[in-house]
Structure 1
Amino acid sequence: MFHNIMRETFSRNLSAKSAAASGKRDADRANQDPRLLRRLLRAKDRMDAASHEAWPVARLAEVSDVSADHFAHAFKQAFGIPPHRYLLTRRIERATALLRDTKLSITDIAFQTGWESLGTFGRTFRDITGESPSANRARAKAAMQGLAEVPGCIVAASHRPDLTIAVSEKRRQTAAGIKKPSSKKEVP
């Protein structure tokens, strides 16, 4: 009975996330050139294959053979999120899997998934998943014992990070009332 309830919960969460995002994306994607979509998919596939590498928009645009500005706009229109957010999702998904499936240290996982700073990794992980990497590892280990009957792909899909709740450093500082001095001087 417990497993049936868990399956229903996972299914509801997964379908709610995908339904909300797919409606607008499908309409936007239908208006795009199929050749452009293939190029965008090529860049997306490259990010998926090497999410630990740095993928600035200029590099992705080069892979797609379009300008950087056009790439960023078209990617967001096609997939619903900017390229950098997509890359963050892939890195956090991989880190979550490594936390769950290995005994590697959190520092090793951070560097293997492309983060240059343990602090940035921890803060971004917490912003996206709502918990620290160590808390995520402990929860995943405990949950694996109760979810033996639920297929792994369902469990993984239900725990996919929701980047709409992630907060950037700039927004965090604005919300806290911290204002950094501007490096640009105003010209009268």
Structure 2
Amino acid sequence: MAATARVPGELLPHLRRARDLADRDYAQPLDLGELAATAGVSKYHFLRCFAAVYGRTPGVYLAERRVERAQDLLRATNLTVTEICHLVGYTSVGSFSAKFRQLVGTSPSVYQAKFAEHGAPRIPGCYVFMHGLSDRNTAISEKRGPSRRT
């Protein structure tokens, strides 16, 4: 049995802050250093503590958030798999499809087709882009707005 890292209680709010950053800005190119800086600890200490608290590494956690959002977009919009791939923060359709298949058990296009046949009316992609319904547009506008004051 592997030993688990003990996480000091005072570190938990800082880990939550980094997790919240991953939840909010998942479509941005986040790396371990940025998440660790948000928590105020070194990269490797952050990696150990995050995995001990949340049961997965920050990279796995971020990939799960991206795939969950992709599932929402695949079910509800008429965007292409490539457009969704980029909206959720992947730069490679191959990497996105492989991770999606690993986590969901099917390819993004098969997943989308399943819901196109039986799902509710789909939101046109142009509407998603124009009206900021994608989290990527919301996250970018929040960074520019006055609400990001510290």
Partner of residue 69 from structure 2, selected from 81, 94, 104: 94
Q: Which residue does the alignment assign to 1:76? A: 51
Alignment of 1:117-156 (within 5 A): 117-142=92-117, 144=119
**Aligned pairs, number:** 117
Q: CA separation in 1, counterparts of 2:88 and 2:113?
A: 19
Partner of residue 30 from structure 2, selected from 55, 60, 70: 55
Q: Which has the larger radius of gyration?
A: 1
With normalisation by structure 1, the TM-score equals 0.58
Q: Deviations along 1:44-96, whole A, 9 cap, x unmatched?
A: 00010010012211111100000111000000000000000000000000000
3-state SS of paired residue (1:95):
helix
**2:31 matched to 1:37?**
no
Root-mean-square deviation over aligned CA pairs: 1.7
Q: Which residue does the alignment assign to 2:141? A: none
Q: Deviations along 1:87-118, whole A, 9 cap, x unmatched?
A: 00000000000000111111100000000111
3-state SS of paired residue (1:116):
coil
Partner of residue 80 from structure 2, selected from 105, 108, 118: 105
Q: CA separation in 2, counterparts of 1:61 and 1:35?
A: 15
3-state SS of paired residue (1:54):
coil
| Runs (5+) with no aligned partner, structure 1 | 1-27, 146-188
| Runs (5+) with no aligned partner, structure 2 | 121-150
Q: CA separation in 2, counterparts of 1:107 and 1:67?
A: 35
Task: State the identity %.
Answer: 35
With normalisation by structure 2, the TM-score equals 0.73
